[in-house]
Amino acid sequence: MLKIGVFDSGMGGISVLNECYRRLDGVSYVFYADTDNVPYGDKSNSQIFKYTKNAFDFLLGQGVSAIVIACNTATSVAVARLRSIYYAREGLSIIGMEPAVKPAVETAKKRIMVTATPVTLREAKLKNLIDKVDSLHRVDMMPLPGLVKFAEKEQFEGDEVEAYLRECFEDTDVEKYSSVVLGCTHFVYFKPVFRKIFGNDIVLIDGAEGTVRHLGNLLNANSPDDVYGSGITLKRAEDYNKLPVYPETEYFMSGRFATDDEKAHIGRMHARIQKMIDDGSFFN
């Protein structure tokens, strides 16, 4: 069975792994969270590249055939160099993540707020993307580094989280916005709080679905009824909301096996996604 690596600076990447579980059959996974060094959003570019390359070398040692960088910050800093290193040497498929600005621009009726870590927002990769797709200049940006720390502590709602977001957006006229781009995999867990700030009609867009669809295309994933080809299939759309059957997954934290406590933490991150799906706050 094909083995896919999923890498993030911390536990936010579980949201992307969960998306993989819901959309693809016929693959196994190795999840690597660099919890010793999270958050990446306040690190230097050289540090981020070093940490990301260490994760790649480790995942290759586990026999993965493709790596999903489930971290917008690591993608913005390191993906170009990593592709030049590992594709030439290993033929490795590398799928990065970037804030989903393009679909937001294509569908937004009003202004668009792009949220991410400070590193993602300052890098040329995002600026070039916005220059390319935002011809009407409707995109604004907001760094939200505190959400990464809240997510790592599993503090997804409550007065402190809401107060943090309200303070960040206190000078923002939220009525001018129809879409918010969640440009960090940690931010997905806070969809209910974003709706409190921007209203229930706000469209929240993250990059997980597009990233996993891209992964499926690279793996030549077939339709659910196609039993030929790669042996990897796309799940039926009507099955998305169901609690996924977790495929074989190995979990590592900064190069060591996850402890029982860390596995329990991972389980709660998966459960948070399911809770939002069940209560209707996950979807627009």
71 is catalytic: yes
Buried b (16+ CB within 10 A) or exposed e, 245-255: eeeebebbbee
Distances 222 to 23, 30, 94, 217, 227 between C-alpha atoms, Å: 11, 22, 20, 9, 8
Alpha-helix residue ranges (DSSP H) falling in the chain: 14-23, 45-61, 72-90, 101-107, 118-122, 124-133, 145-152, 159-168, 191-198, 208-218, 260-279
8 A C-beta contact, residue 156 and residue 184: no
- The reported pLDDT for the residue numbered 240 is 79
Distances 239 to 103, 138, 201, 274 between C-alpha atoms, Å: 24, 35, 25, 13
Among residues 88, 43, 62, which one has the least CA distance to residue 257?
A: 62
- The reported pLDDT for the residue numbered 236 is 77
Which pLDDT tens digits describe the chain residue by residue (284 residues)?
889 999 999 999 999 999 999 989 889 999 999 999 999 998 999 999 999 999 999 999 999 999 999 999 999 999 999 999 987 676 789 999 999 999 999 999 999 999 999 999 999 999 999 999 999 999 999 999 999 999 999 999 999 999 999 999 999 999 999 999 999 999 999 999 999 999 999 999 999 999 999 998 888 876 665 544 556 878 877 777 877 777 899 999 999 999 999 999 999 999 999 999 999 999 98
Predicted TM-score (pTM) of this structure: 0.94
168 is catalytic: no
- The reported pLDDT for the residue numbered 227 is 45
CA angle 239, 245, 249 (to 5 degrees): 130
User: Which of 33, 94, 147, 184 does the annotation list as catalytic?
Assistant: 184
Domains of the chain by start residue, with CATH: 2-97+208-279 (3.40.50.1860), 101-206 (3.40.50.1860)
- The reported pLDDT for the residue numbered 188 is 98
User: Which of 68, 71, 112, 147 does the annotation list as catalytic?
Assistant: 71
Residue 93, φ and ψ in degrees, nearest 5 = -80, 130
- The reported pLDDT for the residue numbered 235 is 81
Q: How many CB atoms lie within 10 A of CB 124?
A: 9
